[in-house]
Chain A
């Protein structure tokens, strides 16, 4: 559904652009292709690695490790798993719900959700390519540490 908005917007603007100035439109498409090609190799490598890593863990194993009685160690492990994996939201959150039903704790799931969206270990090479080492390490470390704070509050509020 969300994609449709993007596609409609791109098609409408492209049509308007084409009517106004053909050479400019062509230039913009060449740019689009170039920047796409620029990140394609890293993306393919990343996606394949993620698929392999996710397959190594079954939901059953995961909920054993990050159960509600696993405490801060479970939170830490959940944060690490979230940092490594990179799955779309429409897979991640239903999966998180299944993990909860299988005995995972809210704090652990919160840490997993936070680092899943904010920390990307497998995307580090790509982020470094654009922003350099210092920025990338700082951003990921801060996000990692703060996800524990969020987990702590979630543990108090939701249970």
Chain B
């Protein structure tokens, strides 16, 4: 029963997919094609990411991370968070477990927010695709707007969250990894 509950969304989606096959075969094959691409992407990106996270957890002492990315790490901490987020690969959902691992190591909340922001908008491989497909003007305009937007979102959420709410998030992160 526990497994069924865990995979509930997946099971429902599979049932919908089967119904689609009966009603409109070409549309279902289309969906299957996209699913195949996404699963391949997931299986390609995730293994090294999680291996690196495991190593980070075991080898990097908490004190070191607190020093570079914790409370009071200032601009340097924000810069490191921005660089890690931008050099990443993979869709947004991959960043959530990564953020949890960084929280466990004592990264400050504002730096977590910057990491997520950079991951979602200024990823270098993504920018390359945007440049190639939509041209330099489009890509550069969006990039120059997105960098301040990352900061606006980070500071707004950081201000709006109460201390006990942030503590709960850090507690959850402990159980996630």
Contacts and interface: CB of A to CB of B under 8 A. Distances in A.
Contact of A24 (B8, B59, B91, B173): B59
B22 interface: no
A73 interface: no
A99 to B, nearest CB: 10
Instruction: Classify chain B's interface size.
Output: 35 or more
A125 interface: yes
A13 B50 CA distance: 13
A4 B58 CA distance: 23
B50 A35 contact: yes
A24 B93 contact: no
Instruction: Classify chain A's interface size.
Output: 35 or more
Contacts of A130: 96-97, 99-100, 169, 172-173, 176
B6 interface: yes
B65 interface: no
B134 A96 contact: yes
A92 B128 CA distance: 12
A118 B121 contact: yes
Interface string A36-65: 101101111111111110111000000000
Contact of A96 (B52, B59, B99, B133): B133
A107 B141 CA distance: 12
Contacts, number: 238
Interface string A8-21: 01100110010000
B97 A88 contact: no
Contacts of A17: 55, 58-59
A32 B54 contact: yes
B54 A28 contact: yes
Interface of B is mostly: helix
Interface of B: 6-10, 12-14, 16-17, 20, 27-28, 30-35, 37-39, 41-42, 44-55, 57-59, 89, 91-93, 96-97, 99-101, 116, 120-121, 123, 125-126, 129-130, 132-135, 137-138, 141-142, 145-146, 149, 152-153, 156-157, 160-161, 165, 168-169, 172-173, 176-177
Contacts of B169: 130-132, 135
A45 B9 contact: yes
Contacts of B34: 50-51, 54-55, 87
B96 A131 contact: yes
Given A6-B48, A45-B13, A55-B30, 14 more contacts: A6-B49, A31-B53, A35-B101, A48-B17, A50-B34, A56-B27, A89-B123, A89-B130, A92-B129, A118-B92, A142-B152, A146-B152, A149-B149, A158-B141
B93 A32 contact: no
B2 to A, nearest CB: 11
